[in-house]
Structure 1
Amino acid sequence: MSAGGGTKAIIAALVANAGIALAKFGGFLVTGSSSMLAESVHSVADTSNQGLLLLGKKTSQRKPTEEHPFGYGRDRYFYSFVVALMLFSLGSVFALYEGYHKIEHPEPLSTPWVAVVILVIAIALETFSFYTAIKESRAIKGDLSWWQFIRQAKTPELPVVLLEDAGALFGLILALGGVGLSVLTGNPVWDGIGTACIGVLLGVIAIVLIIETKSLLIGEGADRAVLGDIVSELTRERVEKVIHIRTQYIGPDELLIAAKIGLAPSLTVAEVAAEIDAAEARVRAKVPAARLMYLEPDLERATEDTPAEGAAAHHE
C-alpha cells in the first residue's frame, strides 16, 4: 500500500468526529445524559486520534539522517500506538467512571428527545465514515477476512480507523439504547448502564489495537507468502540457495531484507556482484516494499538456518 493509502478514510473520520463531538456535547448540556457525555469525550478523543494518524503519516516521510539512517517509517507505528492508548485512557476509562457514577447516583434526564435526535444524526455520520474506511480497506485486504486484515496489516492507519469507527458506531447504538430505556422505563439507571457498556466496548477495542500496534512498533517480519516470493525470486539464475534470511518492516512500505545466498564457487568477483544486483532487482520487482536489501554471498554450511527458520518472527 502506498504511503498515501488510508488518508481519505482518516480525513472522513476526522471531519465526522469533530462535528459529532460538538453536537454530542451540546446534547449533554441540554439533557444531562451521562451517555451523551461519554460519547462526547469519545468523539473528542477520536478526533484527536485522527489528527495524530495524519501527523504520523507526515513525519514518517522525512528523509534519513545520520541518527536515523533507515528513515522515520516507524513514526506511523508510534502514533498509532499512542492513538490506542488515548482510546483506552480518554475513552474507555472515562466512560467506565462516568457509568459507575450515574449508576450509583442516577439523575433524571431533561428533554431526552434532544439526545435521541443527536444520536440518530451521529449514527448516520459515523456510518458514512465507517463505509469510507471499509471501501479503502477492501482495496488492499484481498482474500483475508476482516479479522485477519486487522491482525496482519503492516499499514496501521486503516485497521485503527476501522476499529475506531466500529467502536463509535456501536457506542452510539449503546448510548441510544441507554437513553431510550431511561425514557421508556422512567429509570435513569439505564443511562449509566449504557455508559458503562460503552466503556467496556472501547476498552476491548483499545486493548486489541495496543497489542497489534505494539507488535508493529517493535518490528514484524514478512509473512509467509511474501517471504516465499522473496526466496523464490532470489533462487533464480545462478543463485543456488538462500542459506538464511531475516526480514523486518521498518515502515509500512519499507521492508528490510538481509540474506546469505549460496552461489557457485567458480564465479568470479564480477559475476558475483552481477548476480547480487540481478537478484535484488528481481525481488524489488516482485515485492516493491523491499527497498533495503543486503545480500551476502556465502557457501552453505550444515549449521545455517533454513530460509523459513531464518525469517524474522512475524505476526500470525
Structure 2
Amino acid sequence: MTEATQDNRTTSSQKVIYAAIAANLGIAVAKFIVAGITGSASMVAEGIHSAVDTGNELLLLLGERRGARPPDRKHPFGYGKSLYFWALIVALSVFSLGGGLSIYHGIAALQAPPPLEDPMWNYVVLVAAAIFEGYSWNVSRKALNAVRKPGTTLWQAVRASKDASVFTVFIEDSAALLGIAIAAGGIALGQYFGNPYFDPAASILIGLLLIGAAFMLARETGALLVGESIDPDQLAALYALFRREPALDTVASLRTMQLGPEDVLLAASVQFRRGMRIDEVEQAIARLEAAVAAGHPAIRHVYFEASALRAVLH
C-alpha cells in the first residue's frame, strides 16, 4: 500500500467522521431544548441518540489517530487494529447509553406520560435533524460506494468493508434516520388520537432500534478485531497469482489477516520445485512479492513458511 493510498483512505474516513460530528452535535442540542419545552419522551430519546453519536465519532477519531502510529518494538505490525477496538467500544456505547437510556426513559414516561403539547417545534427540529443526518449519511454512503464491487448492494458493501470508521458512521446514521421517522410517527399518532402513550412507546422503539444497530456494529467490528481474512474473491485471485508462478510445485494454503483498513498480513504455505538453487528460490520469492504488491496493495506483510525452503535445501 502506497503512502498516497493510505492518505486518501485517512482523508476519506476523517471527512465522514467530521461530517457526522457536525451534524450530531447541533442536532443533539436542538433536540434537548425542544424536549425540555414540549416534554416529548421520544425527543429526549432522540437527543440521547444524537449526543451518544457525537461522542462515538470522537472515539472513532481517536481510533484513527492511534491506528496511524508507525510500528515499534512492542507492536511490530503497527497499531491498525486500534481503530477496530474503538469501533467496538462505540458499539457498546450505542447499546448501553443510546439503547438502554432510551428504553428506560420511555418506560418511565409510560408510567407518567406528560400532557400533550403543541408539536410544532418537535417537527421543526426533526425535519432539520433529518436534513443534517441525511447529509452525513450521504457522505458515508459515497465512501462505501467508492469501494463497492459492481453488482453488490450497499449492505453487502458494509459487510465487506474493512474501514470501521466508514461503516460505523453509515450504520449509526441509518439508525438515526429511522429513529427520526419513529419519533415523528409517535408524536403524530399521539396528537391524532389524543393519546399521550404513543410518544413514550416511540422512545422504547428507538431504544430497540439502537440495540439492533449496536449488535450489528459489534458483529462487524468484533470479526475484524479477532483477525478477519480478506474477502473470498480477493483470496481466490491470490491463489491464482501464486499458481501461475513456475517455481512452485504446490500452493497448500494462503492465510490472511486484516491488521487495519488497508493493512493485511499474508502467510504462504507453498512447495518450491526440488533441485532449485537458493538464488532461484530468492528470485521466485521476489517475483511473488512484487506481483502481490502490484495486485493487492493492501497486503503489506508476506511470509513464507520455513517448510517451503527446507524441502529445497534438502
TM-score by structure 1 length?
Answer: 0.91
Which residue number in structure 2 is paired with residue 287 of structure 1?
296
Structure 1, unaligned runs of 5 or more: 301-316
- State the Cα distance separating 1:297 from its structure 2 match: 6.2
- State the Cα distance separating 1:296 from its structure 2 match: 3.4
Q: In the aligned structure 1, how far is the partner of 2:222 from the partner of 2:130?
A: 30
User: What code does the residue aligned with 1:120 have?
Assistant: V
Provide the secondary structure at the position in 2 that maps to 1:51. Answer: helix
Query: How many equivalent residue pairs?
Result: 301
1:196 corresponds to 2:204: yes
Q: In the aligned structure 2, how far is the partner of 1:245 from the partner of 1:142?
A: 23
Which residue number in structure 1 is paired with residue 238 of structure 2?
230
Provide the secondary structure at the position in 2 that maps to 1:248. Answer: strand
Which residue number in structure 1 is paired with residue 255 of structure 2?
246
Q: In the aligned structure 2, how far is the partner of 1:50 from the partner of 1:297?
A: 44
1:75 corresponds to 2:75: no
Provide the secondary structure at the position in 1 that maps to 2:146. Answer: helix
Which residue number in structure 2 is paired with residue 264 of structure 1?
273
Which residue number in structure 2 is paired with residue 162 of structure 1?
170
Which residue number in structure 1 is paired with residue 142 of structure 2?
135
Which residue number in structure 1 is paired with residue 107 of structure 2?
100
Which residue number in structure 2 is paired with residue 310 of structure 1?
none
- State the Cα distance separating 1:245 from its structure 2 match: 2.3
1:109 corresponds to 2:116: yes
1:205 corresponds to 2:216: no
Which residue number in structure 2 is paired with residue 86 of structure 1?
93
Q: Tell me if the contact between 1:234 and 1:280 (Cα under 8 Å) persists in the aligned partners.
A: no
1:120 corresponds to 2:127: yes
- State the Cα distance separating 1:6 from its structure 2 match: 2.4
Which residue number in structure 1 is paired with residue 312 of structure 2?
none
- State the Cα distance separating 1:298 from its structure 2 match: 4.5
Q: Deviations over 1:285-311 (max 9, x none)?
A: 1000110011236469xxxxxxxxxxx
Q: In the aligned structure 2, how far is the partner of 1:184 from the partner of 1:299?
A: 74
Structure 2, unaligned runs of 5 or more: 310-314
- State the Cα distance separating 1:243 from its structure 2 match: 2.2
Q: Tell me if the contact between 1:30 and 1:111 (Cα under 8 Å) persists in the aligned partners.
A: no
Which residue number in structure 1 is paired with residue 158 of structure 2?
150
Provide the secondary structure at the position in 1 that maps to 2:147. Answer: helix
Which residue number in structure 2 is paired with residue 177 of structure 1?
185
CA RMSD between the two structures = 1.7
Provide the secondary structure at the position in 2 that maps to 1:255. Answer: strand
Distance change >3 Å, CA 258–CA 157, structure 1 → 2:
same
User: What code does the residue aligned with 1:149 have?
Assistant: A
Which residue number in structure 2 is paired with residue 221 of structure 1?
229
Q: In the aligned structure 2, how far is the partner of 1:128 from the partner of 1:82?
A: 25
- State the Cα distance separating 1:193 from its structure 2 match: 1.0
Q: In the aligned structure 2, how far is the partner of 1:254 from the partner of 1:237?
A: 28
Most deviating of 230-239 and 215-224:
230-239
- State the Cα distance separating 1:219 from its structure 2 match: 0.7
Q: Deviations over 1:232-252 (max 9, x none)?
A: 222324223212222111111
Which residue number in structure 2 is paired with residue 17 of structure 1?
24
